[in-house]
Chains A and B, each alone.
Chain A
Amino acid sequence: MHPETSPEIAIPTALPRAEPGVHRFVFGGVAFEVSTAPALRWELSGDHRRFGAPFDEGPVAASVRVAATSMSALGHTPREVIYAWADGAARVRTNGLQVDVRELAPRSFAASALVGQQLGDCGSLCTALAGALVDRVGGLVLHASGIELAGGAVLFVGPSGAGKTTAANHCAGAQAFARDRAAVYPTAAGWFTAPMAGGDEIELPDSGRRVLPLHAILRVERAGAVGRIDGCDPVGAVRVLRESAQLGARDRDGEGALLDRLLAIATQTQVGIVHTRLGEPLVPTLLPFVRRSPAWT
């Protein structure tokens, strides 16, 4: 006789009580455990806390030790996030911080960070490191808003002004999930996504705080007459995804690998173009398309 198992019964909004100087949270699909030096007072900013999640939901884990240093000791650091993986290790550099990270096991990382003392929270560190780790595990970060629908996520992508947030706001009855960026990564159970903070202040109550199966990625366009969704062929899907991917500098091999990754997303998830009409509820248009997703159960 085997003991019966049942889904875990959890209180999803409660975080484990942190030891002093240890912060545990999920951001961008990465379960962070950040240990800070005693002299360093560091907290998640409100924006990042809103897009955090309980500690046990991250499919990628990172243990980060953080120490403070003077900005001058860091030397010039770039505004954009720069990193390159080699032999399972990378140095991630961006404005006012530098992180040396190495892969301990698949999807498990240890990192040592030096941050300029004037940085007041760990948002920049989380954003930079999550992007590098998601890249390492075969995913990428998309500029996207998104909603939770039927147990999965629908991401809206497109250039600035395309109407990503407007599309999310036209999904009455669905919970907001991401407002500007989302990490997308492969798992044994298919493609998953997690929200990341960023973007202009827009009121999206009840943010999902979740890591969800990825139902669909939709490029937003304004409709002429009738709201609808057109599925993309693989080439069109790669074009849509690359347009919205947050990319670092890559060489020829890196660009080729990125094309392979985009093609994998394109063929293993639903990618389409949603033609939205102002004021027209979007969920009835989304549902038939989303039901064709491999993540639909």
Chain B
Amino acid sequence: MDLSTRVRQAGRVAARVIDGKAVIVVIDTQGLHTLNEVGTFVWERMRSGPHEAATLVDAVTEEFEVAPEVASRDVVEFLERMTTVGAVEVEEASP
């Protein structure tokens, strides 16, 4: 995954934000995952549909006190982990 990858919330998840933290259930694995404040911010951004990872990084750097290169690394790592657990899907590039 890199900054040009387009990602979206997976279809078979249920989520609620409780006390500012997203609690996500991946239906097919029955895994329950909790996000911190920044993770919840990114997750909520993805509610509106697919996003390029770079736009999520831009949003994070606007909202939080963080250097762009650090945000880039952290957001991509976060999205990779979320993809691994089944909470996020990578949108295939259209031909």
User: For this complex, into which size category does the number of interface residues on chain B fall?
Assistant: 10 to 19
Candidates B11, B14, B18, B34; contact of A255 at CB < 8 Å: B14
How many residues in A have their beta carbons less than 8 Å from beta carbons of B?
Answer: 19
The reply on B12 being an interface residue by CB < 8 A is yes
**Interface-centre pick from A242, A255, A256 (highest chain B CB count, 10 A):** A255
Known contacts being A252-B12, A260-B16, is A235 close to B23, with CB within 8 Å?
Answer: yes
The chain B residue with its CB closest to the CB of A255 is B14
The reply on B30 being an interface residue by CB < 8 A is yes
Q: Would B18 and A235 count as touching, CB distance under 8 A?
A: yes
Candidates A235, A238, A243, A255; contact of B27 at CB < 8 Å: A255
Candidates B14, B15, B18, B32; contact of A234 at CB < 8 Å: B18
Known contacts being A235-B18, A255-B14, A263-B18, is A247 close to B25, with CB within 8 Å?
Answer: no
List 8 tightest A-B contacts by C-beta distance, closest first: A255-B14, A256-B14, A259-B16, A255-B25, A234-B18, A235-B18, A235-B21, A252-B14
Q: Which residues of B contact A (CB under 8 A)?
A: 11-16, 18-19, 21, 23, 25, 27, 30, 32, 34
Q: Can you offer 11 A-B residue contacts whose CB atoms are under 8 A?
A: A233-B19, A235-B18, A235-B23, A239-B23, A242-B25, A252-B14, A253-B14, A254-B14, A259-B14, A259-B25, A260-B16
